[in-house]
Amino acid sequence: MGVIRTWVCCACGREFDSWESYPICPVCECVRVNWKPGGGHIAGVSRTGDAEFKALADAFKLDDLHSAKRGEAAKVINNPQPAYANGVFGTPHDFGGFVANIDPTKGAQCVPVTNKINFKAKVEVGRSLGAGQLGVPSVQSHTTIDSSHRPKP
């Protein structure tokens, strides 16, 4: 469903209503038309909308909602620390620079890190990044090779 709008023809000056965007004038068939704003007649609607908002907030016991006023938030947001940051899921473990609260008895877990990670590095042309530049040890420092297989050509 579209919106019906009032248009004014630039050639003959007649006003007409149409559902189309930039329609052709029905009188002179000119394609140059301008939209004539009809105004926003919502004074009565906004009062009933506010009353409905308050009734719904009371019905669902939402006492922390506010009506939209200039300079006021629509809802007061309480942003507590998540449970994983407080160590509820386990104890902090260091994974080579990444610290996460995990429970080692539960197996694989997906929790965010608890420490701040900052990977700012000074990069130069022709120089490789070392382990100390990123703030974490290199991959090779914790890697062991148990065996290798090199097929003969």
Provide the pLDDT for residue 144: 81
Provide the pLDDT for residue 131: 55
Residue 49 belongs to a domain: no
Number of domains in the chain: 2
Residue 18 belongs to a domain: yes
Residue 124 belongs to a domain: no
Q: How far from 21 is each of 6, 73, 78, CA to CA, in Å?
A: 10, 36, 45
SS3 for 77? coil
Domain around 98: 79-116
Residue 136 belongs to a domain: no
Regarding pTM above 0.75, the answer is no
Provide the pLDDT for residue 92: 79
Q: Are 109 and 101 in contact (CB under 8 A)?
A: no
Q: How far apart are CA 53 and CA 66, in angstroms?
A: 9
Residue 46 belongs to a domain: no
Residue 9 belongs to a domain: yes
SS3 for 112? coil
Residue 16 belongs to a domain: yes
The backbone region for 107, taken as left when phi is positive above 0, alpha when psi lies in -120 to 50, beta otherwise, is left
Taking only the tens of pLDDT, the chain with its 153 residues reads 567 888 899 889 899 988 888 889 998 988 888 888 876 555 556 667 778 878 888 888 877 666 666 666 666 666 666 655 555 667 777 877 778 888 778 877 777 777 777 667 677 787 776 655 556 666 677 778 888 888 887
